[in-house]
Amino acid sequence: MRATIDRVISRFPERSLILRSGSETQYFTLKTWHQIGLVALVSVTLLWTVIASIGFSWNRGALLETRAELVRTVSENEAFIAQLETDQRNAYELRQSYQEEVAKNATWSEQFAKLRSTSSDVIGTSAPESPNPFIQWLDWQLETRISQVEAENLRLSTLVMDLSESVAEISGHAPPQELDDVNQWLGTVAGDLTNAYATQTQAMEALHESMTQALNRGYATIERTPLATSEIAGFSPNFGTGGPERPQAVSDHVFETFDSRVEQLQTLSQDWKQLNQLLECAPLATPVDYYNLTSKFGNRKDPFNGRPDWHEGVDLGAWPGTKIRATAAGTVRHAGNRSGYGKLVVIDHGCGIQTAYGHMKSISVKKGQVLSYRDVIGTVGSTGRSTGPHVHYEVRVQNEPVDPYQFIEAGRYVFKKQELAVADAN
């Protein structure tokens, strides 16, 4: 081994390397180990180059196969990724479809619950909770209801025909022969009835106007007397303001106008009866035909002592023996002497009205006797607390004394109107 090394070293003795550049000369000494190192380096480099070239040549096929495998793997990965994306998209669409189906099922369940609840409420019995039994139950219920409706329609058809015959008897039109003709037939009858109602409405409007005027005239008779209050008269004194309008509004149906006129005429009729009854009770005449008003109603001086006094009637002076007459029809409630009044007659005229006649010379009626208007009840005298021949005349309404002269003035208005009416007739 040593000998081999020595032989190798002997091949690399020290050598001198001369480098000349112009006039300059440089000497380099290459020692043995420098040479050996350089040779070793070159040998290693060559060896590595050879080995690398051999390795590269040997591995090139594997590299190409690896590259082809890599390309194939990348292609497969790309296909897998594309398939994965497709699967994800399909999964998303499937989930969307699933959610839509779930929403549809929820909506269907809600609608089914509402339908079941509504069906139970309408039919009145509890509906099945499952769809299939519910469908069978609803089908049976509908068949039952259809049968009932058909029976009801048949009954209504019979009723319509019967009513048509009744209407025909009232209207004078021949009844329809078929159910399909009823509608047109009723239109014709309704038109005729409408015309008849319109004519009657016009007549009632004229009657309403005349009754209103008559009530106005009648009410004017008692307007200035205590009888004009609604508490005593029994109706509102505003009945006579205006009257109905002649033109009929376009929107008013003729039957509604007719009914309205009927109600108004009924009210006017009741007021007219009440007013006539009140006028029959009202003492509108004077108890004596000729008189001199010697003392008014209300505050005055007492004729005997001159003190202030309240006079509950009027004193009508007349010749002794003058006939005293009832100022309205009524029933005698008192006929005889009474302190202060002398010979006194009290007549009840109804409607809460009474009249009293005092200081009479003679009485020609009895208690309980029924009198007519202007019947003689006695004669003028000066009995009782009196200073001379006269009739003390009182009018009481609801037991309250009122001024008799209001009724006397009202009577003058009535009689004057009657005289004018007679004069116009002549």
Question: How far is the C-alpha of 303 from the C-alpha of 380, rounded, in Å?
Answer: 19
Residues with Cβ within 8 Å of 257's Cβ and at least 6 positions away in sequence, in order, are 201, 248
Weakest-pLDDT range from 17-26, 156-165, 305-314, 397-406: 156-165
For residue 338 the two structure tokens come to: 């009474």
CB 315 within 8 A of CB 337: no
Q: Are 374 and 285 in contact (CB under 8 A)?
A: yes
The domain ranges of the chain are: 1-127, 181-281, 292-425
pTM: 0.48
Greater pLDDT, 244 or 104: 104
The angle formed by the CA atoms of residues 365, 368 and 369, to the nearest 5 degrees, is 45
Section 341-361 average pLDDT:
95
Residues 6+ apart with CB under 8 A from 308: 299, 300, 301, 302
Q: What is the mean pLDDT of residues 311-330?
A: 94
Write the burial class of residue 309 (CB in 10 Å: 0-12 exposed, 13-18 middle, 19+ buried).
middle
DSSP element (H, E) containing 404: helix 404-425
> In which residue are the tokens 């607390």 written?
385
Q: Which CATH superfamily is domain 292-425 in?
A: Glucose Permease (Domain IIA) (2.70.70.10)
Question: Mean pLDDT score of the chain, rounded to an integer?
Answer: 78
Q: What angle do CA 408, 388, 393 make, to 5 degrees?
A: 25
Per-residue pLDDT tens for 171-194?
A: 666 777 666 766 766 667 666 666
Q: Which helix (H) or strand (E) holds 403?
A: none
To 10 degrees, what angle do helices 131-171 and 182-222 make?
Answer: 60
Helix axes 182-222, 404-425, angle to 10 degrees: 120
CA distance 59 to 70: 16
CB atoms inside a 10 Å sphere around CB 276: 13
Whether the per-residue pLDDT at 58 is higher than 50: the answer is: yes
- Which of 32-41, 119-128, 209-218 comes out lowest in average pLDDT? 209-218
What separation in angstroms does the CA of 339 have from each of 47, 344, 356, 359?
179, 9, 14, 10
**Token digits of residue 9:** 């070293």
pLDDT value at position 121?
Answer: 76
Residues 6+ apart with CB under 8 A from 35: 12, 15
Q: Which helix (H) or strand (E) holds 284?
A: none
pLDDT of amino acid 417: 47
* CA dihedral angle for residue 274, residue 275, residue 276, residue 278, rounded to 10 degrees: 90
Question: What distance in Å separates the CA atoms of residue 327 and residue 150, rounded to the nearest whole number?
Answer: 75
H helix intervals, 11-130: 32-123
| DSSP characters over 318-348 | --TT-EEE-SS-EEEEEEEEETTTEEEEEEE
Beta bridge pairs of residue 284 = none
pLDDT given for residue 165 in this prediction: 65
> Which one of 214-218, 223-227, 305-309 scores highest in mean pLDDT?
305-309
Long-range contacts of 365-369 (CB under 8 A, 24+ apart): 365/332, 365/335, 366/332, 366/335, 367/332, 367/333, 367/334, 367/335, 367/336, 368/331, 368/332, 369/331, 369/332, 369/335
For residues 296-321, give the mean pLDDT.
Answer: 90
The C-alpha angle 225, 230, 236, rounded to 5 degrees, equals: 115
pLDDT recorded at residue 48: 83
At residue 80, does pLDDT exceed 60? yes
